[in-house]
């Protein structure tokens, strides 16, 4: 029998929320600290140049506030001829010097929840362009991915890429192609053996038995890769059952389970309780992470099961609340029914459907929540895609500033935590530190913001000054200069 007074598995909601509140209360002081750092007099070149450290450098970034080992510091950042990073408190020099006065110098942003699974052969360049211009240097398709990762890489590794890229095993496609559970397991494991970054499945859109999910989780645990899971319930009365199912999968298999966009699937109506469940699980042997995107509205395909009969009651919405992304067209009952079977048509719900103060802001204050876009731009001049595909990370930084969250904490959610989740694959890109690969973003904290909107998602973000990928300057003055992205995958087990 459970001892409800003493069991560590059942920390009270009051205790859990108190911990979250303490974290939140600390945000203001951290934010003030950041402001003080940025307000300090920037470095000058009156120190003696470190000639030995400068000998192999092709580029130096000076006078910036550098996100280094999860702290903001005044450092010189050098990029070597081998495209790795060198940091120093002493002045460095090179033929190419960038003055980052008043700017923040961060490792490149990592999108762990990108999605370009529809027709990547024809859309991937557009998709990557809008990721790059939002500061993302590594774009990992873990909400979707590829059914056959080796074939994906064989095809795409020969092509030019704006960003670093990688995929997980896309279980939904395997389930459409194979009726046998044994075959589904076989090809999921084959993908992991071939270097896939993890396993992804969306059980709201493709309902799956718990026993089958258990099989995928066991494979993820066997290869120590994350299992990305879009939960099955989005209704107020049942969404927490989805969170509990994810926790159960982790505890029964030892898998690292990542819950996709908790604020839209799992915590829309009951975020404090969802966070409490995850926190309790992590304290008692579970390995659960989650992510959010910094928008108070979701968007998905009208053909999906999310709009099965009863959707108005589940979400408290009606036909006129739905807007076709990229056109601004509002639906009514007739157009809803006419468009319902049109493949690929994305509609957005109103702003505030997922209130920031009741969902996203609470999740961001925990140490197990990061930022993931859950999307991508796939066409021009105006895509039928959620604006998060173009503006997720700049919007997240701006939102962090507005809510009083420290810049360090915000940056950890788009750099450090995603790299930690993808451990092994991202260890050489997880910090601005000596020997790491030079994926670097320089941005202006005063102006950074996402411009993408429901009416026009196809807009570059503001405030991104320069981007380096694999040691090369690829973005400067709102212009893309080069395609230097490389594949990110694990070594084949064969």
Asked, as a colleague might, if the bond just before 66 is cis with ω within 30 of 0, I would say: no
Residues 417-475: pLDDT tens digits?
999 999 999 999 999 999 999 999 999 999 999 999 999 999 999 999 999 999 999 99
The C-alpha angle with vertex 337 and arms to 334 and 338, in degrees rounded to 5, equals 85
What's the confidence (pLDDT) of residue 17?
A: 41
Residues 242-261: pLDDT tens digits?
999 999 999 999 999 999 99
Alpha carbon distance 119, 115 (integer Å) = 11
Alpha carbon distance 247, 241 (integer Å) = 10
Helix (H, G, I), strand (E, B) or coil at 359: coil
CA-to-CA separations, 120 to 117, 125, 127, 142, 191, in angstroms, rounded: 6, 8, 8, 14, 18
What's the confidence (pLDDT) of residue 46?
A: 52
Alpha carbon distance 405, 364 (integer Å) = 9
Instruction: Give the pTM.
Output: 0.90
Alpha carbon distance 178, 157 (integer Å) = 27
CA-to-CA separations, 218 to 223, 373, 424, in angstroms, rounded: 9, 26, 19
pLDDT at 151 over 60: yes
**Residue in 414, 404, 366 with CA at minimum distance from that of residue 106:** 414
**Residue in 365, 367, 366 with CA at minimum distance from that of residue 400:** 365
pLDDT at 9 over 80: no
DSSP letters spanning 381-398: SS-SS-THHHHHHHHHHH
Domain boundaries, given as residue ranges, for the chain: 51-102, 107-298+352-431, 299-348
Residue whose token pair is 């694999």: 470
What's the confidence (pLDDT) of residue 233?
A: 86
CATH architecture of the domain formed by 51-102 = Roll (2.30)
CATH fourth-level superfamily of 107-298+352-431: Metal-dependent hydrolases (3.20.20.140)
């Amino acid at each position: 029998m459970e001892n409800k007074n003493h069991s560590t598995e059942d920390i009270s909601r009051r205790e859990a929320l108190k911990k979250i509140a303490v974290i939140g209360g600390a945000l203001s002081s951290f934010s003030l600290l950041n402001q003080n750092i940025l307000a300090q007099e920037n470095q000058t070149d009156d120190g003696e140049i470190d000639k030995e450290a400068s000998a192999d450098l092709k580029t130096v970034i000076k006078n910036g506030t550098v996100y280094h080992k999860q702290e903001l510091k005044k450092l010189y950042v050098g990029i070597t001829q081998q495209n790795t990073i060198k940091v120093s408190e002493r002045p460095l020099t090179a033929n190419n010097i960038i003055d980052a006065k008043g700017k923040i110098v961060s490792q490149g942003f990592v999108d762990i929840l990108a999605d370009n699974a529809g027709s990547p052969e024809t859309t991937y360049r557009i998709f990557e362009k809008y990721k790059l211009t939002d500061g993302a240097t590594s774009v990992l398709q873990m909400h979707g991915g590829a059914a056959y990762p080796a074939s994906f890489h064989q095809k795409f590794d020969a092509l030019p890429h704006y960003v670093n890229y990688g995929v997980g095993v896309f279980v939904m496609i395997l389930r459409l192609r194979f009726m046998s559970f044994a075959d589904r397991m076989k090809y999921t494991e084959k993908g992991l053996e071939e270097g896939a970054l993890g396993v992804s499945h969306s059980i709201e859109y493709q309902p799956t038995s718990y026993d089958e999910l258990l099989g995928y989780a066991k494979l993820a645990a066997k290869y120590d890769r994350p299992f990305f899971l879009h939960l099955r319930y989005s209704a107020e009365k049942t969404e927490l059952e989805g969170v509990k199912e994810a926790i159960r999968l982790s505890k029964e298999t030892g898998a690292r389970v990542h819950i996709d966009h908790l604020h839209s699937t799992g915590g829309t109506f009951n975020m404090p309780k969802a966070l409490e469940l995850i926190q309790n699980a992590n304290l008692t042997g579970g390995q659960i992470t989650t992510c959010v995107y910094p928008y108070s509205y979701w968007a998905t395909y009208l053909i999906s099961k999310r709009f099965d009969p009863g959707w108005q009651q589940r979400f408290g919405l009606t036909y006129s609340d739905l807007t076709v992304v990229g056109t601004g067209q509002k639906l009514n009952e007739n157009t809803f029914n006419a468009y319902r079977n049109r493949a690929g048509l994305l509609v957005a719900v109103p702003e505030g459907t997922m209130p920031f103060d009741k969902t996203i802001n609470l999740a961001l204050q925990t140490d197990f929540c990061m930022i993931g876009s859950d999307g991508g731009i796939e066409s021009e001049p105006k895509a039928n895609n959620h604006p998060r595909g173009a503006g997720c990370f700049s919007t997240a930084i701006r939102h962090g500033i507005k809510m009083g969250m420290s810049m360090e904490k915000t940056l950890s959610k788009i750099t450090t935590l995603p790299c930690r989740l993808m451990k092994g694959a991202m260890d050489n890109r997880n910090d601005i530190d000596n020997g790491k690969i030079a994926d670097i973003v320089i941005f202006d904290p005063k102006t950074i913001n996402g411009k993408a909107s429901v009416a026009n998602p196809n807009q570059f973000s503001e405030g991104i000054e320069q981007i380096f990928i694999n040691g090369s300057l690829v973005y400067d003055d709102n212009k893309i200069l080069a395609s230097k992205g490389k594949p990110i995958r694990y070594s084949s087990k064969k």
